[in-house]
Amino acid sequence: MLKMRGVRNVLLASGTLSPIQAFTFNMGLNFGAILENEHALKQVPVLTSIVTRGKHGGLVGSFQNRKNIEYVSDVGESLIRVMETTPQGVLVFFSSYSQMDELVEVWKKTKRGASDSSETFWEKMEKTKKIAVEPRAKEQLAAIRLRYTQGVSEPHGAALLAVCRGKVSEGIDFCDAESRAVIIVGIPYPPIHDERVVLKKMYLDDLMGRNDLTNERQSSRDWYQMEAFRAVNQAIGRVLRHKNDFGTVVLIDTRYASAKPEMFPKWLRNTISRCDSNNCALKTARFFKERGHLIENSKSEYIKKQAKTCKSFRQVKSQSASNPKDDITDITLEDMFSPANMIIEKKEKIEPRPIKYESSSSSVFSLPTNEDELKVKKWEQENDSQTNVSSSSDLNKRKYKAETPGHSSGQHEVSGSEPPKKKKMVLLTRETLPEKYQNALNIPTSELTKGMSLDNQKQFVATLKGYKATTMEWQEVFQRLHQIFIPDRPDLFISCSNILRSEDKMKYIRKSLGMKINY
Mind listing the pLDDT tens digit of every residue in the chain (519 residues)?
455 667 777 877 766 666 676 677 777 777 777 777 666 666 778 999 999 999 988 999 988 888 899 999 999 999 999 999 999 999 999 999 999 999 999 999 999 876 656 899 999 999 999 999 999 888 888 889 889 988 888 889 999 999 998 888 776 778 788 889 999 999 999 988 888 889 988 988 888 877 666 566 788 898 899 889 989 988 888 888 777 888 999 999 999 999 988 888 888 888 999 999 999 999 999 999 998 888 888 877 777 776 665 555 455 545 544 444 444 444 444 444 444 444 433 334 444 444 443 443 333 333 334 444 455 555 555 555 444 444 444 444 444 444 444 444 444 444 444 555 544 444 555 566 788 888 888 888 778 888 888 888 888 888 888 887 777 888 888 988 988 888 888 888 888 888 888 778 888 888 888 887 765
Final residue belonging to a domain, choices 255, 274, 296: 296
Final residue belonging to a domain, choices 277, 296, 315: 296
Q: Could you say which DSSP state residue 422 is in? A: P
Q: What pairs with residue 249 in β-bridges? A: 48, 182
Other C-beta atoms within 10 Å of 285: how many?
Answer: 15
Q: Could you say which DSSP state residue 420 is in? A: P
Q: Report yes or no on 336 lying in a domain.
A: no
Q: Report yes or no on 340 lying in a domain.
A: no
User: Which regions of 12-154 does DSSP assign to beta strands (E)?
Assistant: 46-53, 89-94, 130-133
CATH classification of the domain holding 165: 3.40.50.300
Closest CA to 341 of 370, 321, 317: 317
At 330, is the secondary structure helix, strand, or coil? Answer: coil
- Contact by Cβ (8 Å): 146, 140: no
- Contact by Cβ (8 Å): 476, 338: no
Q: Report yes or no on 93 lying in a domain.
A: yes
Q: Report yes or no on 354 lying in a domain.
A: no
∠294-296-301 over CA atoms, to 5°?
A: 90
Final residue belonging to a domain, choices 253, 274, 296: 296
At 52, is the secondary structure helix, strand, or coil? Answer: strand
Closest CA to 472 of 501, 450, 492, 445: 501
> What CA–CA distance (Å, rounded) separates 396 from 400?
6
Q: Report yes or no on 236 lying in a domain.
A: yes
- Contact by Cβ (8 Å): 138, 333: no
Q: Give, in order, the Cα–Cα distances in Å from 451 to each of 303, 325, 448, 455, 480.
A: 39, 21, 9, 12, 18
Other C-beta atoms within 10 Å of 477: how many?
Answer: 20
The enclosing H or E element of 184 equals strand 181-185
> What CA–CA distance (Å, rounded) separates 233 from 237?
6
Q: Report yes or no on 344 lying in a domain.
A: no
Angle between helices 371-387 and 393-403 (to 10 degrees): 90
- Contact by Cβ (8 Å): 451, 478: no
| Boundaries of domain holding 251 | 38-208+217-296
Q: Report yes or no on 281 lying in a domain.
A: yes
The pTM assigned to this predicted structure is 0.58
Q: Report yes or no on 474 lying in a domain.
A: yes
Cα dihedral sign for 37, 42, 44, 48? positive
State how many domains the chain has.
2
Closest CA to 352 of 146, 504, 498: 504
